[in-house]
Structure 1
């Protein structure tokens, strides 16, 4: 192969190269060039060319659920799989080029098929495309159920019916629903946060996400151990106290004092109210209302287990979904001897008292502010 055989085979005659052989060489050489050109072109496109992309705003509707912590590449993969964008690279590039691109968050989005990547990014940044349900601290389940129905385009009462029928399969911790008088087993277990909820999704899947978050957070807080140190029967009572604190308080300082009021009134040594909590919020819960002006005759004639004016101790279960602040206060109450409280301005200002005499003075302030 190195051309050093010219002294061998010493005959004078030389073999002629056939035309056919030359043609084969040319054909092979030409085919090689074509192959190199083909692969070279695609290598260049992959490395330096623009990624495959659709044009325009697309058509139809596609519900896309983006998980917490998902980055551009993961989002792009999901969008491509659903036919929203043509390639992952096109979406990642469009997200990087959009100044607000990194603000795309977890949630459910209503997009279209065959969209340009840039259009997909813009639509995901538009609040109108974001289909979520927000559970605010203190929200009762009835409010959350109604929001889910609205977001999923379901008839009124659908989610409430699912919750009532299928609550055992939604992921509640083993210590939940420990009282036969509980009105809603999921009350207190729809963790305050933002959740995906778009047409096409099932209400049970939305509820499962909320319950999962609650169970996870309650486990992280160690409610089982904390219940013992607070002299409560079980973790459910911790959540119940937190729901009362959330419903009655306004600030973190309020929450801690409110928690102490609950614990002091639950004591067997309480001769001030004889273990009656006397919280308006529990009566309002059982009536499905929010009313600060309740007549004594109305409240004293009602013997419902949730009426803490006529029934001693805690209500059977939570009266709402407490937030982190209320839960932390419940686990770390003040120890100043607070026994009473009054929203003296009838709305946002809560004042506390240690004796009945001081409590009566706060009631006078409330009456003066409300014109009674």
Structure 2
């Protein structure tokens, strides 16, 4: 092919000699069509090569583009899907849940859309009715619309016992109380790590769900079971205590007692304190009585007796209504006179009560009593001080 081009270019200069040479080459190649065939073949090869280069370039460009352009769907999507957003979920966690459900194309698309929308911080945990293949922006907008949130919430107040919690959950979900009781028989199966059930005093622990049903407002997912609801509450407990570093701080700062014993103390404070500001002081009294210089090293708190009454299906009572036999019943594992700490928490304490048990104020208080109907509590180091406080409470018609 190159020879042909060269001959064509030089023909005018070479004159007749050039003509004869070109004629001779045609004869060697078998006639006049040989040059034209090679030209066509060369053009085809060139096209194939150029096509390959073009395809590779396109593929490479497409891949590179993905590094700079966020993968995202267009529009508001199609169909319908429900997505559960867990308690404590961050924007990145929500994004992962949406990707898994096929709602958004990439986590980055949702995160960028959320960052661009100042209202995205108002997205709540719960169950959402969304569409598949939504743009990140559409997904954020949909989750901010109350109409797309499936509201099936139940609020668990602080200080409720497990039996009371089951009743509240049953009323809301129509799941029988017996199913919650059955699901809670094995707390470890419901997500409570086994290391929680350890004590420093050598007393044997029978794992109980009491104390681990964290009080909060929960969105109950569709088709929830007793098991999944209890697991949701336990997961929330672990999340909150993890944020507080509850277990770590108790082990480092509370003189060798275990996180489980501190959780028991938190439940006592939750039951006894009349005001939020007294939670830590009541916790300190419990520590001082059980582990300090208190004659019987017993708790002597009527709330433990009431817990046993409820646990055994009996009516709870005020302190004034309790009989001497009930107060001093040695068969009661939650007796006022039990030496050391009681077997389990007596309710499910909230964050403030746990904070008070984790880091109580320093003090030698052994006694306390509410002295007015506002719940003001006076604390005393000696019984003589306590008697004066009790006299004040009687004057105010509290006891």
1:12 aligned to which of 10, 14, 22: 22
How many equivalent pairs are there?
361
The two structures, once aligned, show a CA RMSD in angstroms of 4.9
Deviation at 1:62, TM superposition (A): 1.7
Gaps of 5+ in 2: 12-17, 27-31
Deviation at 1:154, TM superposition (A): 3.5
Q: Is the 8 A contact 1:85 1:113 kept in 2?
A: no
Question: Is 2:296 aligned against 1:249?
Answer: no
1:237 aligned to which of 240, 254, 261: 261
Give the number of the structure whose residues are more often helix, by fraction: 2
1:185 aligned to which of 203, 208, 211: 208
Task: Name the residue aligned to 2:381.
Answer: 354
Separation of aligned partners in 2, 1:335 and 1:33: 78
Question: Is 2:283 aligned against 1:259?
Answer: yes
Deviation at 1:163, TM superposition (A): 0.8
Separation of aligned partners in 1, 2:53 and 2:362: 86
Q: Secondary structure at the match of 1:63?
A: strand
Q: Is the 8 A contact 2:80 2:132 kept in 1?
A: no
TM-score (norm 2): 0.66
Task: Name the residue aligned to 1:209.
Answer: 235
Deviation at 1:324, TM superposition (A): 5.3
Separation of aligned partners in 2, 1:192 and 1:337: 30
Task: Name the residue aligned to 1:167.
Answer: 187
- When residues 336 and 23 of structure 1 are mapped into structure 2, their CA distance, relative to the original with a 3 A threshold, is closer
**CA offsets 1:301-334 (integer angstroms, 9 cap, x no match):** 3536355446454322211234555445445555
Task: Name the residue aligned to 1:295.
Answer: 320
**CA offsets 1:112-141 (integer angstroms, 9 cap, x no match):** 332633443234335644777777654433
Q: What does residue range 315-334 of structure 1 map to in structure 2 within 5 Å? A: 315-323=342-350, 325-330=352-357, 333-334=360-361
TM-score (norm 1): 0.70
Q: What does residue range 113-152 of structure 1 map to in structure 2 within 5 Å? A: 113-114=131-132, 116-117=134-135, 118-125=137-144, 128-129=149-150, 138-145=159-166
Separation of aligned partners in 1, 2:220 and 2:266: 27
Deviation at 1:185, TM superposition (A): 0.9
- When residues 363 and 48 of structure 1 are mapped into structure 2, their CA distance, relative to the original with a 3 A threshold, is closer
Question: Is 2:96 aligned against 1:82?
Answer: no
Q: Is the 8 A contact 1:244 1:281 kept in 2?
A: yes
